[in-house]
């Protein structure tokens, strides 16, 4: 078919497969399609939607012509939707230079997406829009066509071995160009920076169409990951959304809101301002949703752990590290950590107090143990002793301290409100105890707490030091070991960036939490520990 004909049916075809955004059209119902019950349809669907299959070939064919397709902002996750409707641009580059007003005016904002983005937006969001699909038999989420496709796309675009496979091209030796920078269609206030610097950063971020193929190889990888994270993890209350922003960001947004309210009383912008403040999302993840997020977490650990060892010479590193290797280095802290932490907090606080919480628990424990997904094999031992956590993971633990400590306290508080006589609930306490009892883990967590609690040396004209960047120079710090000071700064930066400068930290190894464990949990469920 001609490109014009393919362009005309593309949106209809995507909706026919993944269902409509309002959930009325079910589509192929990939989340309920299983090889055991429907082997023919299952096999055909996986072949058709495979990264090298007909559907992706169509995506790349349209991608080469720079077609754009509208995706309604109203179907984005609540916090992002409310932010964009107030004309405050989220930090994620996925939304930059894509927001457009409809041609006839009004309030219906759209994102202008390229074919790859459009396809992946629909694929990712179908996990949370198709909640009421008819099910005539028991479905195991991890055996569904949807779950298998998520795994396949992760392995293809975030490979642990080799490089990302080039897209199939009708031109021999040709490559599908990465998206080109586009001019912003709507004036937006941006989080954490001025408008001009946002535009510059975005243009610098986007690879050029004529750039070296090596630098183009990860645009699909980064786009896929950003879409998965934004669609699956970006759901929580407005209060949490605002807490994620730095003091500088809050000040800039406040100035923008004041200018809007003073100039446009009663205007659509003012009503959206009121809607944002009234907004509270009642999002409740399903068990299937959590299982897919756990699959993402496990793969990202494996992807990050496949990073090649640092070369001996720093100069050699600058010349040999590929874009994919650099992506592995930053993928978890830059793209996942913050939103996963908020997502887990949301689940810990809103999930029913029953055994179905096991799915959330295992996802959390998977994130806490990146060493389980390291390529090196543990040494064989005749004695079934628990393996000690290697010291190389100390920095990961320190830079994810709240994941270990605050969420541990959150789990304890949940556990004390459940029926621990129930074997399934008691088993969850046992699972957490077993993970945290791994040799050397408690010592590394305690070291992270000590680094966070190190007193600040503040010089008079910098009373309000902000922990926003791990690259800040250390010349004004004490004469203690630079390595220790740097580690302390990274821990403080992690905690304050997630919880704010006024956060009151509760020590995991402090008297209050020890009392919670020894005087309450052990009395309630003594058999769990033994």
Which tens digit of pLDDT belongs to each residue from 462-510? 344 444 433 333 333 334 445 557 889 999 999 998 888 888 999 999 9
User: Which stretch of 231-240, 277-286, 446-455, 487-496 has the lowest confidence by average pLDDT?
Assistant: 277-286
Q: pLDDT tens across 112-154, in order? A: 999 999 999 999 999 988 655 555 456 788 899 999 999 999 9
What local confidence, expressed as pLDDT, does residue 469 receive?
37
How many whole angstroms separate alpha carbon 494 and alpha carbon 200? 27
Is the pLDDT reported for residue 425 higher than 50? yes
Which is higher by pLDDT, 432 or 217? 432
User: Which stretch of 18-27, 181-190, 411-420 has the lowest confidence by average pLDDT?
Assistant: 181-190
Is the pLDDT reported for residue 157 higher than 60? yes
Q: Please state, rounded to an integer, the average pLDDT across all residues of the chain.
A: 78
Q: Is residue 412 part of a domain?
A: yes
Q: pLDDT tens across 5-18, in order? A: 999 999 999 999 99
Q: Report which secondary-structure segment, H or E, holds 112.
A: strand 110-113
How many whole angstroms separate alpha carbon 522 and alpha carbon 517? 6
Q: pLDDT tens across 311-367, in order? A: 665 555 455 678 999 999 999 999 999 999 999 998 998 899 999 999 999 999 999
What local confidence, expressed as pLDDT, does residue 20 receive?
93
Q: Which long-range contacts (CB under 8 A, 24 or more apart) does 150-155 make?
A: 150/292, 150/295, 150/296, 151/295, 151/299, 152/46, 152/50, 152/51, 153/51, 153/123, 153/224, 154/224, 154/295, 154/296, 154/299, 154/303, 155/299
Contact assessment for residue 324 and residue 264, using Cβ atoms and an 8 Å cutoff:
no
Q: Is residue 59 part of a domain?
A: no
Q: Is residue 442 part of a domain?
A: yes
Range of the domain at 419: 400-457+483-529
Is the pLDDT reported for residue 210 higher than 80? no
Mean pLDDT of 428-455: 95
The confidence band for 166, taking pLDDT boundaries of 50, 70 and 90, is confident
Q: Phi then psi for 113, rounded to 5 degrees?
A: -110, 145
How many whole angstroms separate alpha carbon 409 and alpha carbon 401? 12
Q: Is residue 101 part of a domain?
A: no
**Whole-structure pTM value:** 0.82
Q: Is residue 143 part of a domain?
A: no
Q: Is residue 408 part of a domain?
A: yes
Which is higher by pLDDT, 438 or 530? 438
What local confidence, expressed as pLDDT, does residue 375 receive?
84
> What total of structural domains would you count in the chain?
1
Two structure tokens written together for 54: 């007909």
What local confidence, expressed as pLDDT, does residue 485 receive?
72
Q: Is residue 513 part of a domain?
A: yes
Q: pLDDT tens across 65-115, in order? A: 989 999 999 999 888 888 888 878 888 889 989 998 766 555 589 999 999
Q: Is residue 107 part of a domain?
A: no
**What is the CB neighbour count within 10 angstroms for residue 514?**
12
């Amino acid at each position: 078919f001609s490109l014009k004909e393919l362009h005309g049916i593309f949106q209809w075809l995507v909706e026919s497969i993944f269902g409509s955004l309002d959930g009325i059209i079910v589509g192929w119902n990939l989340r309920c399609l299983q090889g055991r019950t429907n082997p023919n349809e299952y096999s055909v669907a996986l072949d058709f939607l495979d990264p090298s299959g007909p559907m992706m070939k169509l995506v790349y064919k349209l991608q080469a012509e720079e077609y754009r397709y509208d995706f309604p902002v109203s179907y984005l996750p609540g916090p992002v939707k409310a932010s964009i409707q107030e004309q405050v641009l989220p930090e994620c580059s996925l939304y930059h230079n894509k927001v457009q007003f409809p041609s006839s005016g009004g309030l219906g904002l759209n994102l202008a997406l390229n074919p790859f983005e459009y396809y992946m937006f629909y694929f990712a969001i179908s996990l949370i829009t198709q909640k009421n699909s008819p099910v005539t038999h028991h479905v195991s989420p991890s055996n569904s066509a949807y779950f298998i496709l998520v795994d396949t796309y992760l392995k293809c675009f975030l490979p642990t071995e080799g490089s990302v496979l080039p897209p199939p091209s009708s031109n021999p030796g040709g490559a599908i160009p990465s998206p080109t920078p586009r001019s912003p269609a709507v004036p937006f206030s941006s989080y954490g920076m001025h408008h001009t610097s946002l535009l510059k950063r975005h243009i610098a971020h986007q690879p050029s169409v004529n750039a070296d193929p090596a630098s183009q190889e990860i645009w699909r990888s980064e786009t896929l990951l950003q879409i998965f994270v934004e669609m699956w993890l970006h759901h929580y209350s407005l209060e949490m959304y605002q807490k994620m922003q730095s003091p500088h960001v809050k000040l800039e947004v406040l100035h923008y809101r004041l200018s809007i309210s003073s100039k446009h009383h009663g205007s659509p912008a003012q009503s959206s301002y009121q809607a944002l403040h009234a907004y509270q999302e009642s999002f409740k993840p399903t068990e299937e949703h959590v299982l897919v997020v756990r699959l993402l977490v496990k793969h990202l650990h494996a992807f990050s752990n496949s990073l090649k060892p640092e070369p001996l010479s720093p100069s050699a590193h600058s010349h040999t590290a590929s874009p994919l290797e650099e992506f592995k280095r930053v993928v978890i802290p830059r793209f996942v950590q913050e939103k996963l932490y908020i997502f887990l907090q949301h689940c810990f606080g809103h999930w029913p107090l029953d055994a179905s919480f096991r799915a959330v628990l295992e996802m959390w424990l998977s994130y806490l143990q990146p060493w389980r997904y390291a390529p090196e094999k543990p040494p064989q031992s005749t004695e079934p002793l628990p393996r000690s956590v290697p010291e190389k993971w100390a920095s990961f633990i320190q830079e994810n301290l709240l994941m270990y400590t605050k969420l541990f306290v959150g789990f304890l508080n949940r556990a004390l409100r459940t029926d621990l006589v129930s074997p399934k609930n008691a088993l969850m306490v046992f699972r957490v105890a077993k993970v945290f009892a791994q040799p050397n883990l408690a010592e590394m967590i305690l070291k992270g707490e000590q680094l966070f609690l190190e007193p600040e040396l503040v010089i008079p004209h910098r009373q309000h030091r902000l922990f926003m960047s791990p690259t800040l120079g250390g010349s004004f710090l004490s004469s203690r070991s630079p390595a220790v000071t740097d580690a302390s700064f990274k821990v403080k930066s992690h905690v304050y960036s997630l919880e704010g400068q006024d956060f009151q930290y509760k020590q995991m190894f402090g008297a209050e939490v020890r009392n919670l464990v020894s005087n309450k949990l052990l009395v309630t469920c003594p058999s769990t520990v033994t």
